[in-house]
């Protein structure tokens, strides 16, 4: 039995909090992977975590493209200058979102929060990867050049925008998390 876990097997609130906070602090960008496939149940866990994210008005505009085809990963690696690690990754998940939303009255309007919604889903995915012992790195795909490459390679339809390509695999290195705590970034009550 581990410390902080009662005999009935129910984890205490402080133990849960510590585990969550340790996972957040341990998250790191991992760009090198073992030659080992990510099991389907882990992929599902990643996607479940991503879909548990908050979204504006609970619209959940996200969609996810799971890429494990070697030729597609290689094509993305060759077309995305900051995602060369995809050439050695067994998996990528492309986080996308609908850029338009249909209101209750049937009117279609611009979804002004798609980037925030997809970002929240991405952070959940990255934290889940860390918790599962996987390595992952977020590479941007929402600017004109990169989104065009991702859209074309993966056949993303109009009205859906890729936010990022997350490269995922079992880490082959020993990357360490960065301590990003900076009290100078904190303002109390006003700037």
Q: So where are the chain's domains?
A: 28-168
Class of domain 28-168: alpha beta
- pLDDT at residue 102, rounded to an integer: 82
The per-residue pLDDT for range 31-76, each reduced to its tens digit, is: 999 999 999 999 999 999 999 999 999 999 999 999 999 999 999 9
Buried/exposed 67-80: b ≥16 CB within 10 Å, e otherwise: bbeeeebebbbebb
CA angle, corner 90, sides to 144 and 139, nearest 5? 25
**Strand order, beta sheet including 91-98:** 62-67, 91-98, 160-169, 135-140
Pair 90, 8: CB distance under 8 Å: no
| Per-chain mean pLDDT for the chain | 93
Q: What percent of the chain has a predicted confidence (pLDDT) above 70? A: 95
- Non-local (6+) Cβ contacts of 167 within 8 A are 31, 33, 83, 85, 86, 89, 91, 92, 136, 137, 139
- pLDDT at residue 8, rounded to an integer: 54
Pair 166, 137: CB distance under 8 Å: yes
Q: In the chain, what are the helix, strand and coil shares in percent, each to the nearest 5?
A: 40, 20, 40
């Amino acid at each position: 039995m581990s410390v902080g876990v009662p005999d009935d097997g129910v984890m205490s609130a402080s133990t849960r909090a510590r585990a969550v906070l340790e996972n957040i602090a341990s998250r790191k960008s991992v760009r090198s992977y073992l030659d080992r496939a990510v099991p389907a149940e882990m992929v599902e866990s990643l996607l479940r975590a991503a879909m548990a994210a908050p979204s504006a008005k609970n619209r959940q505009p996200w969609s996810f493209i799971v890429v494990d085809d070697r030729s597609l990963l290689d094509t993305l690696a060759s077309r995305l200058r900051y995602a060369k690690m995809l050439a050695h990754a067994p998996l990528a998940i492309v986080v996308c979102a609908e850029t338009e939303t249909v209101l209750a009255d049937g009117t279609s309007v611009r979804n002004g929060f798609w980037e925030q919604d997809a970002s929240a889903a991405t952070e959940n995915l990255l934290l889940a990867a860390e918790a599962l012992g996987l390595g992952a790195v977020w590479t941007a795909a929402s600017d004109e050049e990169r989104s065009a490459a991702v859209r074309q390679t993966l056949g993303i339809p109009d009205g859906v925008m890729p936010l990022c390509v997350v490269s995922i695999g079992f880490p082959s290195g020993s990357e360490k998390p960065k301590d990003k705590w900076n009290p100078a970034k904190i303002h109390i009550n006003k700037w």
